[in-house]
Amino acid sequence: MILLGIESATDLVGAAVCDEKGARSECSALGRRRHAETLAPAVAQVLALGGLVPGDLDAVAVDLGPGLFTGLRVGVATAKGLAQGLGIGVIGATSLEILAARALDSGWRGDVVAVVDGRRGEVFAARFARGPDPGGLVELSPPARLSPEELPGLLTSAGSPTLACGDGALRYRDLVTGTGGVVVAGSTLAAPTPGGLVALAAARLSAGAPTLAPGSVVPCYLREADARINWVRREGPAHG
């Protein structure tokens, strides 16, 4: 199976291709809020580097978020449009799952708390443990929107060493490291990557996970767009 991964949930934007033997090509860059302009050339480049054309693809993987609102819209819309045009399915993974899977694949033996910087003084976070299947994760707490001050409650664990990863963990390192038994991962685990996405998606497909019809793929935003938030703050709540 040839799988294309589309990553645009954070400032890191890119794509990757893998097959049954592993990664074939990967391309990523800091989008600097230019996700639409960056993603399409990245997809074209990884296909060319892999010696592929779109018709060779068997499925498309996409990061569903949470993360940057515009980036998620661009990535999910691209994945759905490409899959719809090719008549293939989509497999999604959250940005928090991708981070946690990479952390566990690196050899970490305890629990993992993935933390994405949500901006506006918020983070998106979830806690995971290793699952029994290849690429499997056990979700110990669901993705949630938190204030940084709420992170210690999620990081506290009964006797299990915990690794905190993601740009949110790095940004709020002082709060994170103030919780006993917590290790903060370095910059190599700061953002979900296209390679991490396709590795997780490929493992799930190999374990029997189904792909989704493009029209049923829904992003995990966890909050409204910044433009909507600003409008509500300026106009005030509606009165019926």
Question: Model confidence over 89-117: pLDDT tens digits?
Answer: 999 999 999 999 999 999 898 999 999 99
Same domain, 99 and 183: yes
Same domain, 204 and 156: no
Any domain includes 239:
no
Q: pLDDT band for position 225 (50/70/90)? A: low
Same domain, 117 and 90: no
Same domain, 112 and 196: no
pLDDT score recorded for residue 232: 37
Q: Specify whether the CB–CB gap between 74 and 39 falls below 8 A.
A: yes
Any domain includes 72:
yes
Task: Name the domain boundary from 171, 189, 207.
Answer: 189
Reported pTM: 0.91
Same domain, 66 and 143: no
Rounded distance between C-alpha atoms, residue 134 and residue 200, angstroms: 9
The mean pLDDT of 8-24, rounded to a whole number, is: 95
Same domain, 185 and 99: yes
Which tops the pLDDT comparison, 209 or 238?
A: 209
Q: Residue 226 above 60 pLDDT?
A: no
pLDDT score recorded for residue 205: 94
CA angle 147, 153, 157 (to 5 degrees): 145
Q: pLDDT band for position 134 (50/70/90)? A: low
Q: Residue 237 above 60 pLDDT?
A: no
* Percent of the chain clearing pLDDT 70 (strictly above): 90
* Cross-strand partners of 29: 13
Number of folded domains in the chain? 2
Q: Residue 228 above 80 pLDDT?
A: no
Residues in contact with 161: Cβ distance below 8 Å, sequence separation at least 6, in sequence order: 109, 110, 111, 181, 183
Any domain includes 238:
no
Rounded distance between C-alpha atoms, residue 230 and residue 113, angstroms: 30
The mean pLDDT of 131-138, rounded to a whole number, is: 80
Same domain, 108 and 150: yes
For residue 147, give the CATH number of its domain: 3.30.420.40
Any domain includes 69:
yes
Terminal CA-CA length for the chain: 54
pLDDT score recorded for residue 34: 83
Model confidence over 151-166: pLDDT tens digits? 998 988 656 789 999 9
The mean pLDDT of 11-24, rounded to a whole number, is: 95
Pairing state between β 22-30 and 12-19: antiparallel
Any domain includes 240:
no
Domain that holds residue 140: 95-189
Q: Residue 45 above 80 pLDDT?
A: yes
Q: Which of 164, 121, 157, 118 is nearest to 11 (CA)?
A: 118
Rounded distance between C-alpha atoms, residue 41 and residue 126, angstroms: 32
pLDDT score recorded for residue 97: 97
Same domain, 88 and 113: no
Same domain, 90 and 196: yes
Same domain, 204 and 173: no
Same domain, 90 and 202: yes
Range with the poorest average pLDDT among 75-89, 185-199, 225-239? 225-239
Q: Residue 67 above 80 pLDDT?
A: yes
Q: What is the mean pLDDT of the chain?
A: 90
Which string of DSSP letters, residue by residue, matches 32-81?
TT-HHHHHHHHHHHHHHHTT--GGG-SEEEEE--SS-HHHHHHHHHHHHH
Same domain, 185 and 114: yes
Any domain includes 177:
yes
Which tops the pLDDT comparison, 211 or 232?
A: 211
